[in-house]
Structure 1
Amino acid sequence: MTKIFIEMLKERGYTYTTQLRRKMLGTTTEKCWEILIQELKLADSISNIATEYRARAYELLGNCQFMPGAEKLVHHLYKKNVPIAIATSSAERMYLRKIEPHQNFFGMFNPVVCGGTDPAVGQSKPDPRIFLVCAERFSDNPCPEECLVFEDAPNGVMAAKKAGMQCIAIPDSDIPREAVKDATLILNSMEEFIPENFGLPCYYS
């Protein structure tokens, strides 16, 4: 969705910098534009600019690709009956659009929490509420320290740690490791993840 932010800001005479992107990653759409309006003194209202963004994003979301290693890990954990969930800052409508081409794959996740529209969440990452709500909705209601979160954004890492959970950070190449230094472990790719190091069944068990 970086492409949309770049285009929308360019149309308004601004540049979407790496520093802005780091602040916004992992937050809801409304929170993203709140940050941009404050940082750049945009004349737009949060409601109007977020509506414009969602309209553009909806057209692009049907083409999302998996992160390398994600399919292998998810299929493995599902086969081994390890509960897996999604806690996304997206609104439910945007999430459903994003998973349209991958219904079977995303059917392996339960629960799914869409922080952008779920009334139980309320606050955006780095607030930990989204992860705590997600944990509460597992059938066995695990305590936070029994949960392992995968995150690509500094705000998500902070939220997971505030929730008392372990967190694997897999940041984009333009995100410095210093920004996710509080993660339990930082990886270059999900392909590097070794399940048994976190008490999970190994790939060859």
Structure 2
Amino acid sequence: MANPDRFLSITKPITHVIFDMDGLLLDTEKFCNEVQEIILGRYNKSFDWNVKVKMLGKKALEAARIFVGETGISEFLSAEQFLIDREDMLQALFPKSELMPGAGRLMRHLHAKGIPICLATSSHKRHFEVKTQRHRELFSLLHHVVLGDDFEVKHGKPSPDIFLAAAKRFEDGQIDPCNILVFEDSPSGVLAEALNNVVSCLNIDELEYDVELINVWWLGLLLWSLIQGWIKVFRSYRIRF
């Protein structure tokens, strides 16, 4: 197994940055939740956070299968039909997407400092276009964008496919993975709004060969989020760190 210390620590200068999008740069998760609640309401069901966690970061059809299966509506609604039923509602809501606090400032700062930035999002092209239509200028700062329906992304997160594709498309050629910083708000999404967004150094190269390392990273991300949450609690009681 790869050395997790190497994986979780940042020991080299950061030269390139990869961003996730939904819930990190754009406040879009609330729209998905709203639409899913509407659909479940037709069957007297409600949307459970545990189901959301399993769906986050997955490709559309995979997430849809989890949704209809975990909520117990698969006998009434197929995953494919769920995607069709939700589409008009999402198309109406996504153009209203707002930037998450500080997202624009961070992207502009990195761009101004000459640090190449790119996007690795599970959103497919059609949704990406409507989500970002009010923020074209900001997203034009990205060196490139890798979407969930990209030909190189065979599997959704936590598979490293999307990060591997994003990393190799920087014009600098082969980049040491330890020089790449990945901004991801959740392990395949996890913890989302409950705790602070997390900045992690994702060792992309090793992820391609070591499946166990994926779990190490998600576990490290979870533990770091919990630590940050407790620090906030202690600070509220004026305990210094």
TM-score by length of 1: 0.76
In structure 2, distance between residues paired with 1:20 and 1:107:
34
CA displacement at 1:114 relative to structure 2: 0.7
Question: Aligned runs of 1:11-50 on 2, under 5 Å?
Answer: 11-41=42-72, 42-43=74-75, 44-50=77-83
CA displacement at 1:31 relative to structure 2: 1.8
RMSD of equivalent CA atoms: 2.5
In structure 2, distance between residues paired with 1:14 and 1:153:
26
The match for 1:134 is 166
Q: Which has the bigger relative contact order, CA under 8 A and spacing at least 6?
A: 2
Aligned partner (choices 116, 119, 143) of residue 151 of structure 2? 119
Contact 1:85 / 1:109 at 8 angstroms: preserved in 2? Answer: yes
In structure 1, distance between residues paired with 2:182 and 2:58:
16
SS across alignment from 2:182: strand
Q: Which has the larger radius of gyration?
A: 2
Q: 1:5 to 1:162 in 2, by over 3 A?
A: farther
CA displacement at 1:133 relative to structure 2: 0.3
The match for 1:182 is 220
In structure 2, distance between residues paired with 1:3 and 1:162:
35
1:65 aligns with 2:106: no
- Select between 105-114 and 44-53 the one with higher mean Cα deviation: 44-53
The match for 1:7 is 38
Contact 2:177 / 2:203 at 8 angstroms: preserved in 1? Answer: no
CA displacement at 1:156 relative to structure 2: 4.7
TM-score by length of 2: 0.65
In the alignment of these two chains, the number of paired residues is 173
In structure 2, distance between residues paired with 1:162 and 1:125:
15
In structure 2, distance between residues paired with 1:12 and 1:162:
43
CA displacement at 1:120 relative to structure 2: 1.1
The match for 2:204 is 163
In structure 1, distance between residues paired with 2:178 and 2:91:
35
CA displacement at 1:33 relative to structure 2: 1.1
SS across alignment from 2:188: helix
In structure 2, distance between residues paired with 1:161 and 1:79:
23
Moved over 3 A (4+): 160-165, 184-188
Aligned partner (choices 104, 120, 130) of residue 97 of structure 1? 130
In structure 2, distance between residues paired with 1:75 and 1:185:
26
CA displacement at 1:60 relative to structure 2: 0.5
In structure 2, distance between residues paired with 1:66 and 1:155:
20
Q: Residue type of the partner of 2:182? A: V
Q: Residue type of the partner of 1:25? A: L
In structure 1, distance between residues paired with 2:93 and 2:117:
26
CA displacement at 1:185 relative to structure 2: 5.1
